[in-house]
Chains A and B, each alone.
Chain A
Amino acid sequence: MTAKKVPYIVPVGPIHPALKEPVHIELTVSGEEVISADFTPGQTHRGIEWMGLSRNPVQIVHLTDRICGICGVTHSLAFARAVEQIADITVPERADYVRTIIAEFERIQSHLLWAGVAAHELGFDTLFYLAWRVREGAMDAIELISGNRVNYDIIQIGGVRRDITEDQFEPIRRCLANYKDLFGKLKMLFLEDAVINSRCKGAGRLSFEKAMAYSTVGPTARASGCTADLRADYPYAAYGDLNVKPVLPTVYSNDINGDTYDRIVVRIFEIAQSIEIIEECLANMPVGRILWEEKVAGILAACKKAKGEAVGLHEAPRGECLHYVAMDLAEIPIAWKVKASSYSNLHVWPLILKGAQLADIPIIVASIDPCLSCTDRVVVTDAAAGRTKIFTKEELTRLSYEKTRRLMQ
């Protein structure tokens, strides 16, 4: 039985049958345990930044929406904020509030989506379906406000393209009330369930020091105890008027472990926080214009006079999203650089996968809420014997399900 000492190489990806983007992960395993992990993203590279350099900011906003279909407002908001700083455009207050409301609905929708996926990875499909049904409430609200379920295209340089009218307040409030009623149930199902507890506690631990050293952002960082939250640290849009406090795992339990369970805690409680933020925004909505300049030609004229560089930031559901833009007296920017939140978080995969069991890989990989990921087919190569065994995503998921089942007995 010398074979058990031989490390296996397990390439995962890059195609996934369910929902995420292609990425290639390579794991070296010894038996059930992961010794080291590496990954190669880049299969969905579409050259968006390059395309942006032949379009003007009003056109780029639509491109930014399509960087990620889940964070429909994140990138457009960060990009618009960068351009607005360079061109010295002041966004009307009402537009700031509309931006905040849609950004928070996006957070609710994204966190519920994630919660569903996480439950699915554990083999808890009932909860997956429940989370996605509940998520439709936020999708309805987003559709009501923006007219589309995905890629809302609501941000314009200098404001928003659609106002929230009086008669829309009522359905939005109803949606929020609905979520409030449901929150207790969600909390109980996700945080008190015995299976979720036993599978997620201690899995994929990321210490505070490592979270800081790897510059993680968003819920992944907060679950490890970092208090970073752009909405509180560098308030923008309407967040300056609100009192946003970073959600740490301590809202629910006494200690911070930085494990998968803590990441669930943070996201679930952020849903509650978002509900409160939207309610406050609705109550204090200022009246007035929603655009700095109604005519596109006017916006472009301002861009033509703009010179300089700026960074636009937004706290996306997955953490800090950064857009760097430079303009030089022309409509078309001379530089545009995007740093999405997942980019910061992916780098901890090698760290948190190390020492994990094969069956825990799906949930640990999912726990940082990657905006790209996949575990479609896995090849286990026994280097010494030259044997190759092909695992499909289903088999890997089955391993995960079996572990859940064992725990329940």
Chain B
Amino acid sequence: MKLTKALNRSLWAFHFNSGSCNGCDIEIVATLTPRYDLERFGVKLVGSPRHADVLLVTGPVTSQMADRLRRVYAQMPGPKVAMVIGTCGLSGGIFSTSYNLAGPVDQIIPVDVYVPGCAPRPEAIIQGVVTVIAKLERLEVGERND
């Protein structure tokens, strides 16, 4: 992984809450604010999926949100990467027995990077982002996203 080269380009992320408890969402924002400051690498949250390289998904995907998740993912331009943050998006976690789940996330859209934890620490999220950068680099030289 050539981190310096990758960091020539800023990574823009769109955050999608598919029914999380807010814990992971708060940690994403904590990752971007001064203590952990992911923004110094140009990583920032954008307001539209059409501008994003990475989709950050939190939550176990409730049935109301499944279709919206599909649509948001489809709106993103390639090469794109989807990253699940938090155990409940990985497997349903503590909510796995609920009647209202369409998820976990990888049942709905293809997922590239998983960050486990409930909630994952900001350091873990940063590690996930580094993995995403490596993956995006590979996608750019032609690896297919499937």
Q: What is the interface of chain A, defined by CB distance below 8 A to chain B? A: 14-22, 42-48, 50-51, 54, 62-63, 66-70, 72, 113, 116, 128-129, 132-133, 136, 139, 149-151, 371, 376, 392-394, 397
Contacts and interface: CB of A to CB of B under 8 A. Distances in A.
Contacts of B46: 17
A43 B47 contact: no
A47 B101 CA distance: 9
A149 B125 CA distance: 14
B62 A68 contact: no
Contact of B98 (A46, A68, A72): A46
Contacts of A392: 47-48
Nearest to A397: B47
B34 interface: yes
A69 B100 contact: no
Interface string B1-36: 000000000000011110111111111111001110
B52 to A, nearest CB: 9
9 shortest interchain CB distances as A-B pairs:
A69-B23, A69-B22, A132-B33, A394-B47, A150-B23, A44-B19, A133-B34, A150-B119, A47-B98
Contact of A43 (B48, B65, B72, B118): B65
A278 to B, nearest CB: 21
B145 interface: no
A136 B121 CA distance: 13
A113 B26 contact: yes
A128 B30 CA distance: 11
A44 B119 contact: no
A61 to B, nearest CB: 11
Contacts of B24: 69, 150
B94 interface: yes
Contacts of A45: 19, 62, 64, 100
B65 A151 contact: no
Contacts of A66: 21, 23, 88, 94-95, 118
B72 A46 contact: no
B119 A69 contact: yes
Interface of B: 14-17, 19-30, 33-35, 45-48, 59-60, 62, 64-65, 68, 72, 88, 94-95, 97-101, 118-119, 121
A44 B102 CA distance: 12
B17 A46 contact: no
Contact of A17 (B14, B20, B121): B14
Contacts of B26: 19, 69-70, 113, 150
A136 B35 contact: yes
Contacts of B48: 17, 392, 394
Given A44-B20, A50-B99, A129 B33 contact: yes
A376 B15 CA distance: 11
Given A45-B19, A47-B95, A394-B48, 4 more contacts: A17-B47, A45-B64, A113-B26, A376-B47
Nearest to B36: A136
A133 B35 contact: yes
Contacts of B101: 46
Nearest to B100: A47
Nearest to A55: B97
A17 B23 CA distance: 15
B50 to A, nearest CB: 10
Contacts of B98: 46-48, 50-51
Given A43-B65, A51-B95, A68 B47 contact: no
A132 B30 contact: yes
